[in-house]
Structure 1
Amino acid sequence: MSDNLPVSLLSHVSLGTNQYGKAQAFYDQVLAPLGCRRVLEHEGATAYGRAYPEFWIQTPLDGQPAAVGNGTHIGFLARSRAEVDAFYQAALAAGASGEGAPGPRPHYGEPYYGCFVRDLDGHKVEAMFWEIAGG
């Protein structure tokens, strides 16, 4: 693989929100422990990432209310178990509801450590760390 190609398969993911300003404040606080920040903004849309826009929150372009997808969730890759723990605590402090406290989930794979929350709009959001020796 070329060194200039991204590791991730996905370019970006977007979630609709009915509380744009509150969603910005929520994700500013929740994504900071993962080393993410606002990297791009348009009217009604904000992108977060470590280096480039990977995760967007936005008001729906069709003007209809945002809705939560049943069976849909977003998983953020943490760089350590401590980042997963900090993400979870930041999310709860920012008004999220817990959907699964940080911990190992061997049924997802032995190296898996993660947590789940519901954001202010009810979207299921995860932070996870895949602990592989030497990497």
Structure 2
Amino acid sequence: MENDFPSLISHVSIGTNDFDRATRFYDAALAPLGCKRVMEHPGAVAYGRLYPEFWVQVPIDGAPASRGNGTHFGFLARSRAEVDAFYQAALAAGGVGDGAPGPRPHYGAPYYGGFVRDPDGHKIEACFWDAALDETADA
């Protein structure tokens, strides 16, 4: 039972003030990670590899969407190349770089990530944990 779910998180949602722009951005930025639209409702799209994990939506209360200071969303990549491709696709789709892809030794030797701001200003990241560099794996 312990390994039935690959993730601790069921899903997260972010708000947007320009739904069409946001979904075009995430269609492009998440494709290199093997993610696609897996569910849609009026004003809401869910992305994932197999099931809805990341929602982009117009706020249900009708108030303007805003981003959280200190909040960011990290997407798992299967390789450094996927992190690089995510970063380039996100920039090409209208994102703004917030930390080019590369090692982040302060997160651990195996960590490789790239950070982008989406068109609404949300901070997103793709990251890869290179198990071959994990010195704690045999501990």
TM range (shorter): over 0.9
| 2: CA distance, partners of 1:16 / 1:61 | 9
| 1: CA distance, partners of 2:54 / 2:108 | 25
Question: Which one-letter code corresponds to 1:21 in the other structure?
Answer: D
Q: Secondary structure at the match of 1:100?
A: coil
| 2: CA distance, partners of 1:121 / 1:7 | 29
Q: Secondary structure at the match of 2:51?
A: coil
| 1: CA distance, partners of 2:125 / 2:114 | 6
Give the gaps of 5 or more residues in structure 1: none
Q: How does 1:104-119 map to 2 (within 5 A)?
A: 104-119=103-118
Residue-pair matches, total: 134
Question: Which one-letter code corresponds to 1:29 in the other structure?
Answer: A
Q: Secondary structure at the match of 1:68?
A: coil
Give CA-to-partner distance per residue, 1:3-39, whole Å, 9 cap, x none.
Answer: 6x11100000100000101111100000000000000
Q: Secondary structure at the match of 1:51?
A: coil
Q: How does 1:1-135 map to 2 (within 5 A)?
A: 1=1, 5-133=4-132
Give the gaps of 5 or more residues in structure 2: none
Task: Could you list the structure 1 runs, at least 4 aligned residues long, displaced by more than 2 angstroms after superposition.
Answer: none
Question: Which one-letter code corresponds to 1:15 in the other structure?
Answer: I
Give CA-to-partner distance per residue, 1:85-111, whole Å, 9 cap, x none.
Answer: 000000000010000000000000110
| 1: CA distance, partners of 2:109 / 2:14 | 30
Give CA-to-partner distance per residue, 1:56-106, whole Å, 9 cap, x none.
Answer: 000000100000100000000000000000000000000100000000000
**Cα deviation, residue 2, structure 1:** 5.3
Aligned identity (percent) is 71
| 2: CA distance, partners of 1:27 / 1:18 | 14
Q: TM-score, normalised by structure 1?
A: 0.96
Q: Secondary structure at the match of 2:87?
A: helix
| 2: CA distance, partners of 1:23 / 1:67 | 13
| 2: CA distance, partners of 1:102 / 1:66 | 28
Cα RMSD, aligned residues only: 1.4
